[in-house]
Structure 1
Amino acid sequence: MDSSPGRWRPKALRDGEDPDPRFTLANERTFLAWIRTALGLIAAAVGLEAFAGDVITSSIRTAFACALLICAAILVVVAVARWLSVERAMRTQRPLPLPWASFLLAGLLATAGIGLAVAIAV
């Protein structure tokens, strides 16, 4: 464990022993993939609001764009929490947590896709 003075680390990163750097870097890459997904949701919201004016009514379009933005914000928070929980598990030699955020994201995107399909069809 690195206990360098003057170097602040969250408690989750102070407990246990440093894992193999390859595992920590893999965890970081996964975190960055979640962040890219959140950026994609933000881009989808902007694109929906900017370019779907003739296809979907304004109130429905704005509601879906806001829902996508809220999902993106939630995803960023979940990504940080997931990164910390995986890092903590690796440091303390415990099993990795279930990827519940994946199920959440899949459900949210399925709901958004179905809702948009209905809004376009109407």
Structure 2
Amino acid sequence: MSTPKRWPAAVYGEGEEPDYRFSLANERTFLAWLRTTLALIAAGVAVSVLELGVPEDIARGLAALLLALGVISPAAAFLRWASTERALRHDAPLPSMGGLAVALTGVVLVAAAVIAVVVVRA
């Protein structure tokens, strides 16, 4: 009996099966990033639609930044999941932060902008 092909073959076709608990933890992290993506997109839409009492240019900029992060996050999450799964399958060290550092920097910039606007308006 043949074993079914698993997708993506570039990930599952390498190395040996790791302990399933590590693969499941990696998958949970991927799903957490997808939830973060939904939150970023929802926040971007909210900032662009709701009247927040901030200048329109700032609101548009924050909305664009949040939406851009929401678009980039799923791709970064998938690449992170794939590289971590490959490392687990080869019993190699886990990959570094890489693209996730960019997403974290974006979130910090959005938070700093919101704080700056609130302080200026107060």
- Bucket of the pairwise TM-score, normalised by the shorter protein: 0.7 to 0.9
TM-score by length of 2: 0.85
For residues 24-73 of structure 1, the C-alpha deviation after alignment (integer angstroms, 9 at most, x for no partner) is: 1110000000111111111111121222x251122221121011010111
Does the CA-based 8 Å contact 2:16-2:89 persist in structure 1? yes
| Number of equivalenced pairs | 119
Query: What SS does the corresponding residue of 1:78 show, helix, strand or coil?
Result: helix
Aligned counterpart, 1:48? 47
Stretches (4+) displaced over 3 A: 5-9
What 5-or-longer segments of structure 1 have no aligned partner?
none
Aligned counterpart, 1:59? 57
What 5-or-longer segments of structure 2 have no aligned partner?
none
After TM superposition, the structure 1 = structure 2 runs for residues 83-94 of structure 1, keeping only pairs within 5 Å, are: 83-94=81-92
| Percent identity of equivalent pairs | 37
How far apart, in 2, do the equivalents of 1:109 and 1:89 lie? Answer: 27
Letter in 1 for 2:64: C
Query: What SS does the corresponding residue of 1:99 show, helix, strand or coil?
Result: coil
How far apart, in 2, do the equivalents of 1:98 and 1:26 lie? Answer: 17
Query: What SS does the corresponding residue of 2:15 show, helix, strand or coil?
Result: coil
TM-superposed CA distance for 1:107, in Å, is: 1.3
Change over 3 Å in CA distance of 1:55–1:19 after alignment to 2: same
TM-superposed CA distance for 1:74, in Å, is: 1.1
Root-mean-square deviation (Å): 1.9
* Deviation larger for 74-83 or 111-120: 111-120
Query: What SS does the corresponding residue of 2:115 show, helix, strand or coil?
Result: helix
